[in-house]
Every structure is written in C-alpha cells, then in structure tokens.
Amino acid sequence: MANLVTPLMLAGTVMSAVGATQSATAQVNASLYNARLEEINATVAHDQAQAEATRFAREATRQLGAARAGFGASGTVDDGLDVLADMARQAALDKATIEYQGDVRALGHRESAKLHRMGADTARREGALRSASAFLSGAGNLAVFSAASSGTLNRSPAGGRGRSKAGCRSSFVPGKFRSFRTFRDSPLRRSYPIVD
C-alpha cells in the first residue's frame, strides 16, 4: 500500500504546483491583455480629443469669418473688433478644454494600464508562492507519511517519556499500541495522535 501511496502523493503535489503556476500564468496574461487594451483606449481618447479640437477650431474659424463679414457689411468696425476678439478667446478656451478633457481621459486609461501591469506582477509572484507552497506542503505530507510508515514516529512530542517542554507529563506508553487501528479506539488518542 505504501508503494502506491507515495507516487500518488508525489503526483498530487506536482499537479497542485503546476495548477498554481498555470492559474497564475492565466491571471498574468489576462492582466497584461487588459493593460494593453487600456493603452489602446488611452491613444484613442487622445486622438478623439485632438480630432474634436480640430473640428471645433474649424467651426470657430468659420463662425469668426461669418461674424467678420457681418460686421463689415453693417459698418460697425470698432464694436465688431471687440466682439471678434472675445469670440476668438472663447474659441481658444473651448478648444483647450476639449484637449484637456481628452488628456484626462487618456491619463485615466494609462493609469488603469499601470494597475493592470502591477496586477500581473502580483499574480506572477503569488503564483510562484502558491506553487512553492503546494510543493512544500506535499513534500511535508510525504515526509510524514514516510516516517509514519517506517515507524520513526513512535516517540512522544517531547522526545521521549517524561515532561514535555510545556511542562506537561506525556501520556505515551511505549509498546502499548502497535497499530493505528487499535490506537484510534484508545483514550490516549487525544493526547498523542500518532503512534506506531
């Protein structure tokens, strides 16, 4: 039976470690993909804002030209110059606002991309730790199983009879129990669970 259990424990350990690694790899890939999408969205937001600002500038230029022509036809040059200057200032301010809003949206996407890349780094480290943890846990279980099956776990926790480090008297009686089956039914089970 021990010959069958050891390979199964090893296989389970390897599968747990590989599963943790694959899960981490999937999380890393998803985070990097999302980061790339956010970078694309940042570029799109910037380009859209530039296109909107260019369209607005053309429309403002057209409106200024129409206003200039209207003032020229009516003969109100002095008042018209003040109005045209005010219209030009307002158009420049509106164009700058459109560009600023696009930059803010692009910055938000870039920051989101940074967060996704940080998430990928965290998932990579977490996967390595989970994989190592699965491997070490499996190795520990295998060591306990091997020690239990070879009979080297028949000592009290304090290293022998007498008082343990905590000052408690050990209730282990050497030679009284020789199998796990009889020990399960024993009243000593609660005080010392592993006896060969």
Both 91 and 117 in a single domain?
yes
Both 105 and 174 in a single domain?
no
Both 85 and 23 in a single domain?
yes
- Tens-of-pLDDT digits for all 196 residues of the chain? 556 777 888 888 888 888 888 999 999 999 999 999 999 999 999 999 999 999 999 999 898 888 888 877 777 766 777 788 888 899 999 999 999 999 999 999 999 999 999 999 999 999 989 888 888 888 888 888 777 777 666 554 545 444 444 444 444 445 544 444 444 555 554 444 454 4
Domain enclosing residue 191, as ranges? 155-196
Structure pTM? 0.59
Both 148 and 163 in a single domain?
no
Q: What angle do CA 79, 60, 46 make, to 5 degrees?
A: 145
Both 101 and 178 in a single domain?
no
Cα–Cα dist 94/45, whole Å = 17
Both 147 and 164 in a single domain?
no
Both 53 and 90 in a single domain?
yes
Both 97 and 171 in a single domain?
no
> How many domains does the chain fold into?
2
Both 163 and 145 in a single domain?
no
Which segments of the chain does DSSP mark as H helices, in order?
2-74, 77-150, 180-184
Joined tokens for residue 196: 């060969």
Of 153, 168, 185, the domain-final residue: 153
Q: Crossing angle of helices 2-74/77-150, nearest 10°? A: 180
